[in-house]
């Protein structure tokens, strides 16, 4: 029991996840700045922003639904943290490994977006409601290719368990090469989930101030921003495990370092992608997902079905 509590709250649970998420935010912002010929923030900037928000007053709009307005950020943060606990880090087992945990992780990663919608909608602000509607509109665009890209890898491994996927690709290391299209689709879709350029439409500051977060301040805004940072780490960890399941059964210290490198590699790719592409309109984003990402994900799915039929009977 004490070991599980340590895993949940200390390492690699809540406290470690906060530290690593803020570090990932710094790396993302630093790479983004350097690629634009800017200096970028100092290493402590994410910490300073988080602490500053925690010290500020929580202001609840007079016409909002105060219960829904306050609960949404906590609900979003809890869902993002819970998803991370199902992902193996330096070995093939996580604290809550079971057959079907991949579906649970994908479900938990969907909940923060729903919480953003609820919080923005019940704040009753015009800007917040526009941002909330955009959140939900994007959700129906990027979730399909994201799920198809990840589940095609699981289909080839014949397992809905993260442990089963990792074990399969460690036993058949050359099969991961056939999942590069699925990885590309999932990486681009993850940009939409994180609401990063070119899919930062729900919080486009030049159009809707901060979107669903417009009326939030203080600790509640800190929780929302922390949720996005944790989603960045959790989403990157999920992609690293599903598409690059290497060095999981080595020495725990070495395996952990390698896994962190894989996560930071994906974070760096996200920073690169959002540097070279301009923001899209919401209709362009939907068209891109359904006309390009979904067919590419479907192609990956068919390829994996053929591979499974030819080599894994």
For 59-63, 208-212, 247-251, which range has the lowest pLDDT when averaged over its residues? 247-251
DSSP letter, residue 86:
T
Residue 280, pLDDT score: 83
Burial 243-253 (b: 16+ CB within 10 A, else e): bbbbbbeeeee
Please state, rounded to an integer, the average pLDDT across all residues of the chain. 89
Residue 94, pLDDT score: 77
Residue 10, pLDDT score: 79
Does pLDDT of 226 surpass 90?
A: yes
Residue 19, pLDDT score: 92
Q: Considering the entire predicted model, what is its pTM?
A: 0.92
Q: Angle, to 10 degrees, between the axis of helix 180-193 and the axis of helix 252-276?
A: 70
Does pLDDT of 139 surpass 80?
A: yes
Q: Compute the half-sphere exposure of residue 31: CA atoms within 13 Å on the CB side of its CA.
A: 18
Report pLDDT digits (tens) over 7-27.
Answer: 777 777 788 999 999 999 999
Do 251 and 103 contact (CB within 8 A), yes or no?
A: no
Residues 6+ apart with CB under 8 A from 231: 80, 109, 112, 193, 194
Mean local confidence (pLDDT), 170-193: 89
Residue 313, pLDDT score: 65
Residue 202, pLDDT score: 86
Mean local confidence (pLDDT), 245-254: 78
Does pLDDT of 236 surpass 90?
A: yes
Residue 178, pLDDT score: 87
Does pLDDT of 292 surpass 90?
A: yes
Residue listed under structure tokens 């050359």? 174
Does pLDDT of 68 surpass 70?
A: yes
Does pLDDT of 92 surpass 80?
A: no
Q: Compute the half-sphere exposure of residue 115: CA atoms within 13 Å on the CB side of its CA.
A: 26
| Band of pLDDT at residue 184, cut at 50, 70 and 90 | very high
Residue 216, pLDDT score: 93
User: Within 10 A of 299 (CB to CB), how many other CB atoms are there?
Assistant: 15
Distance CA 240, CA 258 (A): 10
Residue 124, pLDDT score: 85
Distance CA 26, CA 29 (A): 5
Do 45 and 198 contact (CB within 8 A), yes or no?
A: no
What are the extents of the domains in the chain? 18-308
**Alpha-helix runs per DSSP H in the chain:** 2-9, 14-34, 45-55, 66-84, 101-122, 126-157, 162-171, 180-193, 205-208, 218-243, 252-276, 282-288, 294-311
Distance CA 144, CA 230 (A): 22
Does pLDDT of 95 surpass 80?
A: no
Residue 142, pLDDT score: 93
């Amino acid at each position: 029991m004490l070991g599980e509590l340590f895993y949940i709250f200390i390492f690699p649970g809540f406290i470690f996840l906060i530290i690593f998420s803020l570090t990932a935010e710094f790396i993302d912002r630093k790479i983004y700045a350097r690629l634009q010929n800017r200096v970028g923030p100092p290493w402590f900037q994410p910490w300073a922003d988080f602490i500053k928000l925690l010290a500020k007053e929580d202001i609840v709009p007079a016409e909002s639904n105060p219960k829904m307005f306050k609960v949404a950020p906590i609900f979003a943060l809890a869902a993002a943290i819970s998803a991370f606990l199902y992902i193996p880090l330096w070995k093939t087992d996580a604290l809550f490994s079971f057959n079907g945990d991949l579906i649970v992780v994908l479900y938990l990663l969907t909940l923060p977006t729903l919480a953003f919608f609820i919080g923005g909608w019940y704040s009753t602000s015009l800007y917040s409601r526009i941002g909330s509607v955009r959140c939900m509109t994007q959700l129906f665009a990027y979730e399909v290719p994201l799920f198809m890209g990840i589940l095609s890898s699981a289909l080839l491994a014949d397992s809905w368990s993260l442990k089963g996927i990792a074990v399969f690709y460690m036993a058949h290391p050359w099969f991961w090469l056939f999942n590069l299209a699925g990885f590309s689709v999932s990486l681009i879709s993850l940009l939409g989930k994180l609401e990063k350029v070119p899919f930062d439409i729900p919080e486009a500051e030049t159009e809707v101030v901060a979107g669903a977060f417009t009326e939030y301040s203080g600790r509640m805004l800190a929780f929302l921003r922390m949720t996005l940072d944790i989603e960045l780490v959790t989403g990157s960890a999920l992609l690293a495990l599903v598409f690059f399941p290497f060095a999981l059964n080595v020495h725990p210290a070495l395996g952990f370092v390698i896994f962190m490198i894989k996560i930071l590699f994906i974070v760096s790719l996200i920073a690169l992608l959002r540097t070279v592409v301009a923001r899209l309109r919401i209709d362009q984003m939907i068209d891109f997902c359904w006309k390009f990402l979904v067919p590419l994900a479907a192609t990956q799915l068919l390829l994996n079905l053929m591979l499974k039929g030819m080599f894994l009977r």
